[in-house]
């Protein structure tokens, strides 16, 4: 075998798509998940300065299903469109809204998707379709949803809320964190189950496994 050819694909793995096809597929899925994030963002229950929405769930499944790179890109695309004026966030948009009291949550969502995708890429790396995650990996996926998908938006969003509304940090925690924790834990559990069920059947958008790195080094 020529050294530059790389290892032959395993017989139980699908053959990789040509690069142009993969690029088109990645663009389509990025746009689709941006639209899905927008739809989930349109569902809101007003409960004070921070409404109850499905944005966190949308960011988690975007990262979990698309992986770090394209999960980040899909949510960032939705945020950019909202900043440009599209009424994506429960009928609201524009730069003034994106920079408003809930702006910290909004800007953190692409990074939450990236971190969830980073964890998902590693939990599913090298595994052959179809597959079921063993319980230990499913628990790790749920932990990633909690730490990256839930905690990261709060770490950015709560201080931002305090600074934009002249609340104390304790008041911002009471208004923008504490009431949402049970619901966000349920969203994290649901997102972990959705990703565990669907990620094995998602088309491959990027080289994320160790064999790709080995081929580049070879």
In a domain, 51, yes or no: yes
* Model confidence, pTM: 0.83
Give the torsion sign (CA, 160, 163, 166, 167): positive
- Report the number of secondary-structure helices (H) and strands (E) in the chain: 10, 2
Residue 150 has pLDDT above 60, yes or no: yes
Q: How many CB atoms lie within 10 A of CB 15?
A: 6
Please report, in angstroms and rounded to a whole number, the separation of the first and last CA atoms in the chain: 12
Q: pLDDT tens digit string along 76-95?
A: 999 999 999 999 888 889 99
In a domain, 5, yes or no: no
Tokens standing for residue 114: 């990236």
In a domain, 145, yes or no: yes
In a domain, 3, yes or no: no
Q: pLDDT tens digit string along 28-62?
A: 999 999 999 999 998 888 777 777 889 999 999 99
- Tally the domains of the chain: 1
């Amino acid at each position: 075998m020529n050294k530059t050819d790389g290892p032959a694909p395993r017989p139980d793995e699908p053959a990789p798509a040509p690069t142009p096809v993969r690029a088109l597929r990645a663009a389509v899925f990025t746009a689709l998940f941006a639209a899905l994030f927008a739809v989930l963002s349109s569902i809101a229950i007003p409960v004070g300065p921070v409404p109850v929405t499905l944005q966190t769930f949308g960011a988690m499944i975007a990262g979990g299903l698309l992986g770090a790179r394209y999960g980040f890109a899909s949510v960032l695309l939705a945020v950019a469109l909202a900043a440009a004026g599209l009424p994506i966030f429960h009928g609201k948009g524009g730069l003034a809204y994106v920079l408003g009291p809930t702006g910290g949550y909004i800007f953190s969502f692409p990074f939450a998707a990236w971190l969830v995708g980073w964890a998902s890429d590693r939990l599913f790396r090298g595994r052959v379709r179809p597959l079921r995650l063993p319980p230990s990996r499913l628990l790790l996926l749920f932990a990633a949803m909690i730490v990256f998908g839930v905690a990261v938006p709060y770490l950015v969003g709560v201080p931002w809320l305090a600074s934009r509304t002249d609340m104390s940090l304790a008041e911002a925690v009471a208004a923008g964190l504490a009431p949402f924790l049970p619901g966000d834990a349920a969203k994290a559990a649901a997102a972990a189950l959705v990703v565990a069920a669907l990620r094995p059947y998602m088309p491959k958008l990027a080289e994320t496994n160790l064999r790709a790195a080995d081929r580049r080094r070879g």
